[in-house]
RNA sequence: GCGCCUGUAGCUCAGUUGGAUAGAGCGUCUGGCUACGAACCAGAAGGCCGGGUGUUCGAGUCACCCCAGGCGCACCA
């Protein structure tokens, strides 16, 4: 609601300034330093000072005198050296919130694709993957809340070297037949088994460099699709994808479609992209130097500082395409520019009826249409920004400037491990590493915190608290509540840092449920609902807010600074979403949720709602409780966090 | 060597596109449960915003130069 008032005030000032001064400048609205200065502040007099050659304070005075009445504004005050502070009309504001509390954002045109998760299907997911998925999933929820149509893609590299390495492990080290691997793949936590095997294979390569031939052989077999190695590769990748989907499901993360590398290969996506790139001279066949015999993209295409040496190889001298090449083809497909399409079959349907589709080479019936986006967000580790630049440059070189501009590398920093957590995991650190503030995880070394282990640990910790507090509740219910607290804690933990902050993962911090955490926010929602529940338990009913809380009643009650501040804070949900989408920073919403929860806890403590005897005040307290609860739950929903029924 | 990112309270981090007296959480210290159940609340202490020079009415925020750290710069993905 707040941003509607903001927009209205902005328009009123913009048109006034246009008429009065012929000034066509954006009217910036700020939040005043202190809340007792009002709800909004305009620094516009400063912006005009130079142009009009008058002191800001005089200009501000002119504006305040000239503009007259603005709807929704109770008072304009000049402060400091020339600020115009705005006080909203509290009665009108309260009434407006009461009458039109929730209205969904207007639908926006176009279709946004968000690609996230993208874990190699050869081992269990770890906390780094979780940051990617939680960030991506939350951004999807934010876009949808802002009215966008969004398609969620999770790219599966089922034919790459990482899968090949695990195949080598089963085939050569373990001497397993495809049937035996198939049997193992059906057992619980197959992804954990592969996690260890992958680490073993990696260290085996270290000691036996000649084993690299196995990897190459497996890779080729997988690409061709023949023989035991290929069969094992399929079994492993498919089973691990299932594991990842299950892990992510625990955190309420789902997908629309899983495009796979095997189909990019077999449907000859790359061949088509290759033709386009050659035809438009986006790449050329290098005849000399270190890249002789390769098709390369000139460095100048993706970097201003680049010289000849910085060209990027797209097709190797042996004729095979690099990852970047395939990614260009995939990116073209996302925008509907490739002239080719996947076929799909339904992989699974979630409890809520939503179906995930996976790419396939065979035509099938009933599959929806995917791709053809107007805007694409690729949620990828910031360490890959160089490669992402090359992909976008590929589009630009092909003349797809608009699509290149709509391709966003949604980058985030890595999740590393704190030295303390390494010690807890029993990892020995070199002297050099132990001096660092964090240690990088490594799938090859098997160094990392597995997602499912972490979730289990969080549930266990939460369950202890729940059991202690609600021993009388049914066990199933307690488990459900503990699960919701655990995912709330985890998602919030991964979201509260802005994207370009390296997270030095620490068990102690991640397992904390106090202070700036998910459970703190959930607890505020639970408290609010408890009040409403207690009211009913005691035979009470909610008053008819519409008739009791007239504009005059609102005016009287909201004169209280505490009530007014909570109402304003709770009504800023929309502004918070807009800001987070515009800046691409889900952390802003996490922060908003925390601040809102803080404001409520404060209110909760200071005003016993049910004990209030003055009917009008009691109505306001109840209404505020209900409104806060709705707004906070909406905010939590966008963060992918549930409010448990009790805590 | 080149490019990108980071440096804010003891620790971990915010800082709304350049605005008023720089904010949270944790930790420390003090106080508050016969309650809408304390996973909470109130209060205190804690700062040369890495350093320097500029830009302007105004800089944690922008520019340039240093210092310190991180990450990239494959015919791997």
Residue nearest to nucleotide B19 (CA to C1'): A43
Strand B and A390 CB separated by under 7 Å: no
Predicted pLDDT of residue A335:
97
Confirm whether any atom of chain B, the nucleic acid strand, is less than 7 Å from CB of A521. no
Nearest nucleotide (C1') to the CA of residue A411?
A: B5
pLDDT of amino acid A81:
80
Comparing A66-75, A225-234, A303-312, A370-379, the range with the smallest average pLDDT is A303-312
**Nearest nt to the A602 alpha carbon by C1':** B41
Average pLDDT over residues A316-336: 94
Token pair 């397992």: residue: A511
CA distances from A212 to A106, A162, A169, A233, A462 (A): 56, 13, 12, 17, 46
How large a percentage of chain A has pLDDT more than 90? Answer: 75
Distance A420 CA to B27 C1' (A): 17
Q: Taking the CB of residue A215, how many other CB atoms lie within 10 A of it?
A: 17
- What pLDDT was estimated at residue A97? 94
Is A355 near strand B, with its CB below 7 A from some atom of it? no
A443 sits within 7 Å of strand B by its CB: no
Note the CATH number of domain A518-638: 1.10.730.10
CA A439 to C1' B51 (Å) is 28
Q: Is A483 helix (H, G, I), strand (E, B) or coil?
A: helix
Element (H, E) at A11: helix A2-21
Residue-wise pLDDT tens digits, A207-232 = 998 998 999 999 999 988 889 999 99
Band (A365; pLDDT cuts 50, 70, 90): confident
CA of A603 to C1' of B41 (A): 10
Average pLDDT over residues A577-584: 94
Comparing CA positions, the residue from A160, A150, A151 lying closest to residue A119 is: A160
User: Which strands make up the sheet holding A284-285, listed edge to edge?
Assistant: A284-285, A295-297, A312-315
What are the pLDDT digits (tens) for A310-321? 789 999 998 889
Calculate the angstrom distance between C1' of B4 and CA of A345. Answer: 41
CATH topology classification for A2-88: Gyrase A; domain 2 (3.30.1360)
- What's the pLDDT score for residue A304? 65
pLDDT at A306 over 70: no
Tell if A428 CB is < 7 Å from nucleic strand B: no
Percent of chain A with pLDDT over 70: 99
Q: Is the CB of A316 under 7 A from strand B?
A: yes
Instruction: Write b or e for each residue in A417-442: b if 16 or more Cβ atoms lie within 10 A of its Cβ, otherwise e.
Output: bbbebbeeeebeeeeeeeeeebbebe
What is the CA A503 to C1' B68 distance in angstroms?
20
Nearest C-alpha neighbor of A262 from the set A165, A343, A375, A352: A343
**Cα–Cα distance measured from residue A31 to residue A20, given in angstroms and rounded to the nearest whole number:** 25
Q: pLDDT: is A460 or A103 the higher one?
A: A460
Burial class (CB in 10 A: 0-12, 13-18, 19+), A287: exposed
Straight-line distance from CA A192 to C1' B25, in Å? 34
Q: Is the CB of A582 under 7 A from strand B?
A: yes
Q: Could you say which residues 84-103 of protein chain A have a Cβ atom less than 7 A away from any atom in strand B?
A: 85
**What average pLDDT does range A399-414 have in this prediction?**
95
Task: Please list the residue range(s) of chain A that carry CATH number 3.40.50.620.
Answer: 262-412
Complex ipTM: 0.96
Q: Tell how strand A407-412 and strand A415-417 pair up.
A: unpaired
Please give, one letter per residue, the 3-state secondary structure of A142-175: HHHHCCCEEEEECCECCCCHHHHHHHHHHHHHCC
Q: Which strand B nucleotides have any atom less than 7 A from protein CB atoms?
A: 2-6, 12-17, 19-21, 23-27, 32, 35-42, 56-58, 69-77
The span from the CA of A237 to the CA of A156, in Å, is: 9
Place of tokens 């010289």: A307
Residues 189-228 of A with CB under 7 A from strand B: none
* Helix A190-207 / helix A178-185 crossing angle, nearest 10 deg: 130
Distance, in Å, from the CA atom of A615 to the CA atom of A543, rounded to the nearest integer, reads: 9
Q: Is the CB of A471 under 7 A from strand B?
A: no
pLDDT (tens digit, 9 = 90+) per residue, A92-126? 999 999 998 667 888 999 999 999 999 999 999 99
Q: Choose among A227, A184, A224, A120: nearest CA to A443.
A: A120
Rounded to the nearest integer, the mean pLDDT of chain A is 92
* A314 CB neighbours strand B below 7 A: no
Nucleotide B22: closest residue by CA–C1' = A33
- What residue ranges of chain A are covered by domains with CATH 3.30.1360.70? 2-88
Return the CA Rg of chain A: 29
pLDDT digits (tens, 9 = 90+) for A387-400: 999 999 999 999 99
Tokens 């068990």, located at residue = A507
For the domain made up of A262-412, give the CATH fold: Rossmann fold (3.40.50)
Angstrom distance, A270 CA to B47 C1': 56
Q: Is the CB of A464 under 7 A from strand B?
A: no
Q: Which residue is nearest to nucleotide B72 (CA to C1')?
A: A383
Please, are residues A379 and A131 in contact by the beta-carbon 8 Å criterion? no
Mean pLDDT of A332-341: 96
Question: Which residue's CA shows the smallest distance to C1' of B71?
Answer: A383
Provide the CA A384 to C1' B66 distance, Å, integer.
29
Where does CATH 1.10.730.10 sit in chain A? 518-638
């Amino acid at each position: 609601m707040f941003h509607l008032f903001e927009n209205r005030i902005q328009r009123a000032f913009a048109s006034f300034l246009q008429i009065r001064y012929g000034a066509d400048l954006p009217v910036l609205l700020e939040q005043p330093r202190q809340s007792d200065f009002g709800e909004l502040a305009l620094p516009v007099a400063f912006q005009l000072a130079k142009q009009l050659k008058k002191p800001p304070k005089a200009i501000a005075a002119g504006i305040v005198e000239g503009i007259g009445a603005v709807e929704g504004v109770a008072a304009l005050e000049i402060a400091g050296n020339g600020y115009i502070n705005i006080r909203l009309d509290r009665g009108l504001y309260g009434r407006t919130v009461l009458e039109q509390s929730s209205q969904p954002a207007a639908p926006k045109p176009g279709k946004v694709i968000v690609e996230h998760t993208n874990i190699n299907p050869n081992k269990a997911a770890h906390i780094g993957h979780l940051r990617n998925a939680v960030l991506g999933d939350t951004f999807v929820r934010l876009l949808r809340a802002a009215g966008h149509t969004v398609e969620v893609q999770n790219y599966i590299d089922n034919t790459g070297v990482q899968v090949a390495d695990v195949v080598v492990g089963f085939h050569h080290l373990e001497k397993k037949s495809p049937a035996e691997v198939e049997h193992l793949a059906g057992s619980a936590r197959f992804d954990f088994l592969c996690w260890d095997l992958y680490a073993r294979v990696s260290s085996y390569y270290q000691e036996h460099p000649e084993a690299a031939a196995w990897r190459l052989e497996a890779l080729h077999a997988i690409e061709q699709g023949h023989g035991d190695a290929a069969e094992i590769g399929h079994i492993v990748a498919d089973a691990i994808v299932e594991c990842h989907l299950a892990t992510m499901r625990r955190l309420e993360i789902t997908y629309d479609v899983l495009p796979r590398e095997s189909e990019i290969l077999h449907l000859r996506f790359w061949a088509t992209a290759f033709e386009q790139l050659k035809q438009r001279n986006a790449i050329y066949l290098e005849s000399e130097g270190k890249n002789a015999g390769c098709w390369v993209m000139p460095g100048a295409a993706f970097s201003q500082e680049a010289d000849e040496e910085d060209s990027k190889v797209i097709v190797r001298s042996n004729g095979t395409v690099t990852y970047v090449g395939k990614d260009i083809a995939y990116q073209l497909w996302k925008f509907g520019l490739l002239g080719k399409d996947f076929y799909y079959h339904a992989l699974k349907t979630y409890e809520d009826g939503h179906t995930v589709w996976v790419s396939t080479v065979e035509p099938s019936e009933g599959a929806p249409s995917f791709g053809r986006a107007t805007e694409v967000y690729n949620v990828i580790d910031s360490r890959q920004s160089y490669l992402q630049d090359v992909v976008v440059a590929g589009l630009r070189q092909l003349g797809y400037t608009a699509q290149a501009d709509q391709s966003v590398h949604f980058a985030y920093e890595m999740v590393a491990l704190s030295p303390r957590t390494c010690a807890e995991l029993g990892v020995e650190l070199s002297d050099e590493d132990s001096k660092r503030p964090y240690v990088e995880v490594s799938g090859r070394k098997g160094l990392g915190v597995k997602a499912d282990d972490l979730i289990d640990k969080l549930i266990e910790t939460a369950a202890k608290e729940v059991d202690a507090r609600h021993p009388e509740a049914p066990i199933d219910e307690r488990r459900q509540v503990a699960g919701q607290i655990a995912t709330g804690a985890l998602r919030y933990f991964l979201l509260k840092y802005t994207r370009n902050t390296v997270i030095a993962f620490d068990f102690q911090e991640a397992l904390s449920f106090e202070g700036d955490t998910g459970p703190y926010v959930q607890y505020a929602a639970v408290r609010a609902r408890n009040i409403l529940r207690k009211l009913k338990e005691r035979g009470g009913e909610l008053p008819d807010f519409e008739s009791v809380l007239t504009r005059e009643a609102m005016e009287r009650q909201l004169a209280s600074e505490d009530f007014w501040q909570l109402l304003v804070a709770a009504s800023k949900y929309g502004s918070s979403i807009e800001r987070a989408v515009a800046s691409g920073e889900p952390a802003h919403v996490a922060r908003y949720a925390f601040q809102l929860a803080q404001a409520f806890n404060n209110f909760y403590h200071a005003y016993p709602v049910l004990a209030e005897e003055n009917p009008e005040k009691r109505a306001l307290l109840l209404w505020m409780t209900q409104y806060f609860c709705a707004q906070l739950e909406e905010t939590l929903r966008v963060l992918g966090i549930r409010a448990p029924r009790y805590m």
